[in-house]
Every structure is written in structure tokens, then in C-alpha cells.
Amino acid sequence: MRKEYDLQTDVLATIVAATSFTKNHSDLLTAFATRTDYRSARYVMTRDVYSERPARILDAEDREIAADYHAWIDAQLEAHGGSVRAVWEAYRNAGYRLTEIRPLLHYFVHDRGGEQVSASDRYSSFSSK
């Protein structure tokens, strides 16, 4: 299984793009510590509550046939007159495989310093007197 990071924030995108996936995210944490002010960043947990989704089509020799399964299947259905059976018959012995992506959320924390305020202190002003 190929593992890689995907980040939706421009600030850290360069670091994440240049970092290989490692167990416990040690390379990513090292990159944060050496290239940013996030020296105290720590890995907390991973959530895997999302289901898999189709990704690419590969042939029997692991060559990519299509980078986008949805675009490929739409084109195949159109080429075969909308017939799912015709698409299946055309490729049933081709040895094609479907890859999937399973999104995971990785949580990291970073202490920004300053006074630590407990949750009870933060919300005490909302309590009734």
C-alpha cells in the first residue's frame, strides 16, 4: 500500500510534499522541527472513520491505465453504449486492478507557549452567579 501525506494548507505544503511517509511520522516531525518554528510538534492520533474510494486503474504489470477511475469508467461506458456488461466483457481478462484511497486524519499538536488556561477557567465567565 502506498502511503503519502496530503495537506490542504499552503503554509506547510512544501514541507509535507518533500517528506516521505514514515511510521509514527518521525520524518515529518523532524522536518517540522528543523524547517519551522514547530519544534515541539507531536503526533497525537489517527482517525480512520472515512470509507475507501476508487482511485486508479492498473494493469497486470502495475502500469497505470487511468489516474482517475471515475473518468475512466465514464469514458468506457460511453464507448460501449452505456452497457456495463459490454465494459465487463471488454476487460474481464485484461488483469486490470482498481486501487483505492482510504483517507486518514492525522492529528498533531504544537505548544505555542504562553499561559495555559484550563477549560473550566475558560468557560467560568459563562456560569450563572
Name the band, by pLDDT with cuts 50, 70 and 90, for residue 83.
very high
Same domain, 9 and 32: yes
Residue 11's pLDDT is: 63
Same domain, 39 and 57: no
Number of structural domains, the chain?
A: 2
Name the band, by pLDDT with cuts 50, 70 and 90, for residue 35.
confident
3-state per-residue secondary structure call for the chain: CCCCCCCCCHHHHHHHHCCCCCHHHHHHHHHHHHHCCCCCCEEEEEECCCCCEEEEEECCCCCEEECCHHHHHHHHHHHCCCCHHHHHHHHCCCCCEEEEECCCEEEEECCCCCCCCCHHHHCHHHCCC
User: Within a domain: residue 71?
Assistant: yes
Share of the chain above pLDDT 90, in %: 36
Same domain, 87 and 58: yes
Predicted TM-score (pTM) above 0.75? no
